Amino acid sequence: MMKTSVRASRMEPSATLAVVNKAKALKYEGKPVISFGAGEPDFDSPAAAASCAESAIKEGKTHYTQSNGILELREAVASYYSDRFGLDYPADQVIIGPGAKPLIYGSLASLVDPEDEVLVFSPAWVSYVEQIRLLDGRASIVDTVTTGNVPLASKVAEAVTPRTVGMLINTPNNPTGAVYGEETLREIAEIALEHDLWIINDEIYERLVYGNSTHLNIATLVPEVADRTIQINGVSKAFAMTGWRIGYALAPKWLSPKIGAIQGHLTSNACTIAQWASLGALKGAEEDVVRMRDEFARRRAIITDLLKEMPLVSFSEPQGAFYVFLNVAGALGGLFNGKKLEDDATFCEALLETEYVAAVPGTAFLAPGHIRLSYANSEAEIREGMARLKRFLGSIEV
């Protein structure tokens, strides 16, 4: 028998996609599935994006572009960063890629050697750890569950070893919805400076913050870290453009050619039509971004109000993104239909199979005993889904 590589065999498939796939299969069988699993807005992509894509096709803009992306889009991203964060990047330090995900990989691949350690704050997005592993690096996990979903400086500093080369931060956070405040970011920046670490700043959810929270960029706050920080962003979440696959990285001068070179060998360039669509979005869809954000804010209020009424579960109020990270530890070990709910995975399985409600197990985010609910659903679905969850919780014998 042929063998697969060690690298491939030790990789875990995406648990988020596993839930989405199972929910889709049940839906296909005609079951009334409500999915809180997907990590994407349910809105249509902005009209400005669609019309620019159409024009690109009609005008024959359907060939390779520069591997780092069309200059027009790189310039638009650079001016967005300058206007929004007061950070000035020349267009040649902006790399447009096929989604934020491959740009995080390209950044890591430019920075991580085998056995190098990268700090990851858990709960964390699934792909960080797998990408670090793909590079034979090691993720040093710093738990934030016990510290309100934000990293505590003393714990972060404790996790640094001579092999630590950098850290990944993600605010607003997937899966917790936490938004890091000024003090946290200053402390993290200080640790990076003291130990000579780079920072990958994944701020893909930066436009989605609610209530009194504000999103802050670590390099705006502490300009000394700008030269060791890679900004990761894109159109996927804020513009409801997940399927167009366009992300951007803004990197220091010493690093951007490396990320660009890796991308050049892997993908040549991100889809040309989608690049033009993203330019259309950045230039003409600001109103859509605000409208969608406001709608998420409304849904956040609805889902959190409903969750507060439920037995056996608890959560920290999410401040950003579109997720609630629910602690279900109080239900685990309990009996449902005579079957023991061993862990968050069996909890999600029983919830999906009996109430047709899909959620992602917290284990997928390195946080067992939790489930992630995405509220990128209609109000009617949120209300019905939460009624089912409540019924489910009510019938667990603890």
Q: Least CB distance from residue 156 to ligand PLP, whole Å?
A: 19
Determine the Cα–Cα distance for residues 275 and 281; give it in Å rounded to an integer. 10
Q: Which residues contact 88 (CB under 8 A, 6 or more apart)?
A: 78, 81, 82
Sign of the CA dihedral with 83 first, then 291, 236, and 206 last:
positive
Which lies closer to ligand PLP via its Cβ, residue 101 or residue 299?
Answer: 101
Neighbours of 161 (CB within 10 A): 10
If binding means CB under 6 A, how many residues of this protein chain bind ligand PLP? Answer: 13
Judged by CB under 6 A, does residue 242 bind ligand PLP? yes
Where does residue 113 rank: exposed (0-12), middle (13-18), buried (19+ CB within 10 A)?
exposed
Q: Are 272 and 77 in contact (CB under 8 A)?
A: no
Judged by CB under 6 A, does residue 125 bind ligand PLP? yes
From the list 289, 245, 236, the residue with the least C-alpha distance to 39 is: 236
Judged by CB under 6 A, does residue 174 bind ligand PLP? yes
Stretch touching ligand PLP by CB under 6 A, among 24-32, 41-49, 96-104, 155-163:
96-104
Q: Least CB distance from residue 16 to ligand PLP, whole Å?
A: 8
Determine the Cα–Cα distance for residues 367 and 289; give it in Å rounded to an integer. 31
Judged by CB under 6 A, does residue 236 bind ligand PLP? yes
Judged by CB under 6 A, does residue 204 bind ligand PLP? yes
Alpha carbon distances (Å) from 220 to 205, 217, 234, 254: 17, 5, 18, 19
Site string for ligand PLP, 247-286 (x = CB under 6 A): x---------------------------------------
Which lies closer to ligand PLP via its Cβ, residue 68 or residue 310?
Answer: 68
Judged by CB under 6 A, does residue 170 bind ligand PLP? yes
Judged by CB under 6 A, does residue 209 bind ligand PLP? no
The closest residue (CB) to ligand PLP is 99
Q: Least CB distance from residue 3 to ligand PLP, whole Å?
A: 30
C-alpha gyration radius of the chain: 21
Determine the Cα–Cα distance for residues 279 and 72; give it in Å rounded to an integer. 7
Q: Least CB distance from residue 361 to ligand PLP, whole Å?
A: 16
Q: Least CB distance from residue 29 to ligand PLP, whole Å?
A: 27
Determine the Cα–Cα distance for residues 290 and 309; give it in Å rounded to an integer. 30
Give the residue, chosen from 41, 46, 99, 320, that forms a contact with ligand PLP under the rule CB under 6 A. 99
Q: Which residues bind ligand PLP (CB under 6 A)?
A: 39, 99-101, 125, 170, 174, 202, 204, 234, 236, 242, 247
